[in-house]
Amino acid sequence: MLGMMAIGIKIAFTGRWRGSLRWWPLIAESWAVVTVPTYILFGDSVSNWVGGFHLVIGYATLGALLALRPGLTD
C-alpha cells in the first residue's frame, strides 16, 4: 500500500490527470490511514468491514472513472 500511495501522490502532483481522477488515487490508496486507526479503536471485526468497504469503493470508483472518463488522463 505504501508503494501505491507513492503512485497516487505522483499522479496528483504531476497534473497529467485532471478533475476528480487527479485526486481519486490518493483516496483509494488511503486504506492504511483509514483501517489502522479503525483497528486500534474498534478491533478486528469492525476494521475488516471498514477496510474491505474502503477498498471496494476506492478501487471501484477509480476503475469507473478511468472507464467512463478516459479523456481525463491525457
What's the pLDDT tens digit per position in 18-57? 988 999 999 999 988 999 999 999 999 999 999 999 999 9
Mean pLDDT over 62-70 rounds to 92
DSSP state of 71: G
CA distances (Å), origin 69, targets 44, 62, 63: 37, 10, 10
Return the C-alpha cell found at 69. 472518463
What pLDDT does 50 receive? 96
DSSP 19: T
Cα 50 to Cα 19: distance, rounded to the nearest angstrom: 26
Distance CA 7, CA 11 (A): 6
Supply φ then ψ for residue 69, to 5 degrees.
-130, 60
Residue 74 has pLDDT above 90, yes or no: no
